[in-house]
A = this chain, B = another copy of it.
Amino acid sequence: MRRAMLALLWVLSGLAQAEDETPPPRLATADVLAAAVEADWRSPDPADTVYLQLPGGRVVFELAPQFAPKHVANLKRLIRQRYFDGLAILRVQENYVVQWGDPNAAVEQKARSLGDAERQLPGEFFVADRNLPFVALEAEDAYADRVGFVAGFPAAQDTDGGRTWLAHCYGMVGVGRDYASDSGSGAELYVTIGHAPRHLDRNVTLIGRVLTGMEYLTTLPRGKGELGFYTSPDRHVVITSMRLASQIPPQERTRLSVIRTDRPIFRKLVAARTFRREAWFVDPVERLGLCNMPIAVRVSSPD
């Protein structure tokens, strides 16, 4: 049954040949990418691209305003008033998250002002838009009825398509919050750095995905406190700056492009990842999990 479903996926992918007798040419990921044309790539909007500059290097992430419009707008307000510059990485928990914000956020006299940004926002945990361009993946998933991709982001859906939400795969960017579902604002952010913590799905607002620079987060020293919080301000890694790419002169931007998830190329990449053709595999599993599907990023300038 599963094989049949995957075969169908294969046919839909456009790789099937005319002759039914001949198995379609199954390609390795590298071969599919090598055959990609320029239209298969997109350049993220600089107004929706964030640079988190750390002493070690630049982390670049793309925002997903279609999933969290209020949080994205608020985060942009914070970034424009340079809210994050000089704040710090507060938490690095093994196999879980890196989190940053104001070390003094809870100290009324010392907390940095959020300026014209909202102090708290209702959670944007899912969207109810049934017309989202959801590119389904034929995969079993432990946490959702349906999984797939929307405009370059891993996502999940109810069976009836009623709710769609971003999935906590590796490298997703979320909005830290307190106990109340409306206690987040964007002033504290996290990135997932381990096995996808999908139990967080629909419980916290995701706002984007890291495109490059994950290693500047994942190699940070783990916090020794509870939940991986650093126990002393001496340990904090200070944030050099956080900017929208659109605020930066073009020549200083990280030039990158992302594979389109809404074109046939992506179906071919899914097939290549499902049916592994690389010579190393002796017993290809012929299955694929949502968070195991890379969304290729091509960096054409050093970051």
Is A220 on the interface with B (CB-CB < 8 A)? yes
Is A214 on the interface with B (CB-CB < 8 A)? yes
> Is there an interface contact between A283 and B203, defined as CB atoms closer than 8 Å?
yes
Is A196 on the interface with B (CB-CB < 8 A)? yes
In whole angstroms, how far apart are the Cα atoms of A215 and B287 in the complex? 30
Q: Which of chain B's residues has its CB closest to A219's CB?
A: B219
Q: Interface size (A, Cβ < 8 Å)?
A: 45
Q: Nearest chain B CB to A158's CB is how many angstroms away?
A: 12
Q: Nearest chain B CB to A147's CB is how many angstroms away?
A: 9
Is A289 on the interface with B (CB-CB < 8 A)? yes
Is A82 on the interface with B (CB-CB < 8 A)? no
Q: Which of chain B's residues has its CB closest to A283's CB?
A: B202
> Is there an interface contact between B142 and A279, defined as CB atoms closer than 8 Å?
no
> Is there an interface contact between B142 and A94, defined as CB atoms closer than 8 Å?
no
Is A291 on the interface with B (CB-CB < 8 A)? yes
Is A125 on the interface with B (CB-CB < 8 A)? yes
Q: A139-B142, A276-B199 are in contact. Are A123 and B219 (CB under 8 A)?
A: no
Is A197 on the interface with B (CB-CB < 8 A)? yes
Q: Which of chain B's residues has its CB closest to A196's CB?
A: B195
> Is there an interface contact between B287 and A143, defined as CB atoms closer than 8 Å?
yes
Q: A170-B95, A195-B170 are in contact. Are A285 and B143 (CB under 8 A)?
A: yes
Contacts of A282 in B (CB 8 A): 123, 125, 181, 203
In whole angstroms, how far apart are the Cα atoms of A170 and B193 in the complex? 11
> Is there an interface contact between B143 and A142, defined as CB atoms closer than 8 Å?
no
Q: Nearest chain B CB to A256's CB is how many angstroms away?
A: 16
Q: Nearest chain B CB to A268's CB is how many angstroms away?
A: 17
Q: Nearest chain B CB to A27's CB is how many angstroms away?
A: 16
Q: Which of chain B's residues has its CB closest to A289's CB?
A: B142
> Is there an interface contact between B194 and A292, defined as CB atoms closer than 8 Å?
no
Q: Which of A167-218 contact B (CB under 8 A)?
A: 169-171, 179, 181, 194-199, 201-203, 214-215, 218
User: Could you mark each residue 137-158 of chain A with 1 if its beta carbon is under 8 Å from any beta carbon of chain B, else 0?
Assistant: 0011111000000000000000
Is A222 on the interface with B (CB-CB < 8 A)? yes
17 A–B contacts from the bound complex (CB under 8 Å): A94-B218, A95-B214, A140-B141, A140-B142, A142-B289, A142-B290, A169-B195, A194-B194, A195-B196, A197-B292, A199-B287, A199-B288, A203-B280, A215-B221, A219-B219, A219-B220, A219-B222
Residues of A within 8 A of B (CB): 94-95, 123, 125, 139-143, 169-171, 179, 181, 194-199, 201-203, 214-215, 218-222, 273, 276, 279-285, 287-292
Known pairs A143-B289, A198-B285, A219-B222; list 6 more (Cβ under 8 Å).
A125-B282, A140-B141, A179-B280, A199-B292, A203-B284, A215-B221
